[in-house]
Amino acid sequence: MRFTNKESTMNVIEFKSRFTQLLSHVAKDVICEHHFFEIPSEQKPWFDTGLNVEAGEQLTSFAAGKTQFKDLPITLEPNFQLWFRIGPEGEIFRGTRDSHSFTIKQPGRLYLASYFPGEWADKTGKLVTPDEVYSMVTGTLAVLLIHWQSDTLDGLKNLAEHGDANNLIAMEIDRLVSPVITPKDWDYLWFTGPAEIYQSCAAPAKNSAICCHTHNDGGLLQKTVLLPFKPNTRLLWSWKIDALPSSVREDTLPTHDYLSIAVEFDNGQDITYYWSAELPPETVYRCPIPTWTARETHVVIRSGAQGLGEWFNEDRDIYQDYINAVGGALPGNIVKVWLIAVSLFQHEQGMCQYADISFLSDDQVVQVQ
């Protein structure tokens, strides 16, 4: 069980006050410098910190605050919202918690961003969404950046000797000491960012499994699978859902927390199969996240609390599902399998395991996991 994100974040005033107090007790040979920043959620990326960093410098960020939608009951926290970039054309990155430690790879100006409801167009942080989407939100992210004199972990442990701030320091030490390892040959979708949701695990009567634990975060894990898309192509898998991240139907933006397995096609479409809290099996709908509506189709295959905690073997004719649920011109190939976990909107926990993922095509089994 990983050290999950805390259930509530500090407000900006508490955050700055507590860390200012802690930093006042730290010896001068531990920290080179530190800086506080406040990023308005309605400001489109990017926020210029005014700091120029050099290759090899070791930094840690801590963050608090929230991004709130003005007209929807949605709040998002720094673990998902806060992104970084070094230089105007540097590759964007973020952490997985409200804290993140990193070593500067190339010199440049340090920029920060509050992400959603935008979406990245490329890995330098240009947006595919119009600037106007940021008028939908309000709020502030408070960020503390610490430049360490030497080793990051030693610096964090020294800081922790003087106390903590809503468990943020302990969580970052835990992240560095006990990292969650992403399953081999799987990668997180770059423009939603990394997570600590999935890891390989053992399961009774299974050769191997992938365990999923989501709490106030989101992650799309992908594996490349190149396969012609033909009639009677089937997706097979086993799964055990222990806890659903939503207790209500998931087809609205404020309630769109779910666990699923998906297939991506070479035309950019994907079908994602999931277990709903309330919607009946074979319910089909397009994704309620505006930037995903045109490309993702949800298909409910199980529903309710009955069967939670039990293993089930699933078998879907994805060729027929595509015709029925998506329609239009058929793609030529399957290109990826996804595992999706979202708990960003209602901030609850979801837990499940996947095993025996494969395709059946032309009577041949193509093993995925």
Measured distance CA(338)–CA(264) in Å, rounded: 7
At residue 1, the pLDDT reads 44
Structure tokens at 96: 């997985």
At residue 4, the pLDDT reads 52
Measured distance CA(125)–CA(91) in Å, rounded: 7
What is the rounded average pLDDT of the residues 53-76?
97
Q: Which residues pair with 313 in a beta bridge?
A: 238
The answer to whether residue 67 scores a pLDDT higher than 70 is yes
Which percentage of the chain shows pLDDT scores above 70? 98
Q: What is the pLDDT of residues 126-144, one digit of tens each?
A: 999 999 999 999 999 999 9
Between helix 152-160 and helix 168-177 the angle, nearest 10°, is 150
Stronger pLDDT, 206 or 229, i.e. the higher one: 229
DSSP code string of 64-98 = EEEEEESSSS-EE-HHHHEEEEESTTSPPEE-SSS
At residue 82, the pLDDT reads 99
Q: What is the pLDDT of residues 268-316, one digit of tens each?
A: 999 999 999 999 999 999 999 999 999 999 999 999 999 999 999 999 9
Alpha-carbon 283 to chain mean position: 25
Q: Measured between alpha carbons, how far apart are the two ends of the chain, in Å? A: 22
The answer to whether residue 198 scores a pLDDT higher than 80 is yes
* HSE, side-chain direction, 13 A CA sphere, residue 200: 12
Nearest residue to 359 (alpha-carbon basis) of 312, 315, 300: 315
Measured distance CA(156)–CA(173) in Å, rounded: 7
At residue 207, the pLDDT reads 84
CATH number (3.40.50.10860, 2.60.120.430, 3.40.50.720, 3.40.50.300) of 12-177 reads 2.60.120.430
**Domain 12-177 and domain 187-362 have a common topology:** yes
Range in 1-10, 53-62, 63-72 with the lowest mean pLDDT? 1-10
Q: What is the pLDDT of residues 336-362, one digit of tens each?
A: 999 999 999 999 999 999 999 999 999
Q: Which CATH class is domain 187-362?
A: mainly beta
At residue 205, the pLDDT reads 80
Using DSSP's 3-state secondary structure scheme, residue 348 falls into: coil
Measured distance CA(175)–CA(76) in Å, rounded: 21
Measured distance CA(312)–CA(273) in Å, rounded: 14
Q: pTM (2 decimals)?
A: 0.95
At residue 8, the pLDDT reads 60
Which percentage of the chain shows pLDDT scores above 90? 94
| Contact yes or no for 109/89 (Cβ under 8 A) | no
What is the rounded average pLDDT of the residues 49-54?
98
Q: What is the pLDDT of residues 159-175, one digit of tens each?
A: 999 999 999 999 999 99
The answer to whether residue 234 scores a pLDDT higher than 70 is yes
Measured distance CA(82)–CA(325) in Å, rounded: 35
Measured CA to CA in angstroms, residue 11 lies from 14, 17, 84, 140 at distances of 5, 10, 21, 9
| Contact yes or no for 45/114 (Cβ under 8 A) | yes
Nearest residue to 245 (alpha-carbon basis) of 283, 202, 209, 274: 274
The answer to whether residue 7 scores a pLDDT higher than 60 is no
Average pLDDT, the chain: 96
Helix (H) or strand (E) run with residue 235 in it = strand 234-243
Measured distance CA(125)–CA(89) in Å, rounded: 8
At residue 206, the pLDDT reads 85
Helix (H) or strand (E) run with residue 199 in it = strand 198-201
* Residue 19 φ then ψ, to 5°: -70, -35
Measured distance CA(188)–CA(223) in Å, rounded: 9
At residue 334, the pLDDT reads 98
Domains in the chain: boundaries:
12-177, 187-362
Task: Label residue 204 by pLDDT band (50, 70, 90).
Answer: confident
Structure tokens at 176: 């560095």
Measured distance CA(90)–CA(124) in Å, rounded: 6
At residue 136, the pLDDT reads 97
Torsion of CA 320, 326, 329, 330, to 10 degrees: -40
Task: Label residue 10 by pLDDT band (50, 70, 90).
Answer: confident
The answer to whether residue 5 scores a pLDDT higher than 90 is no
At residue 116, the pLDDT reads 96
What is the rounded average pLDDT of the residues 321-330?
98
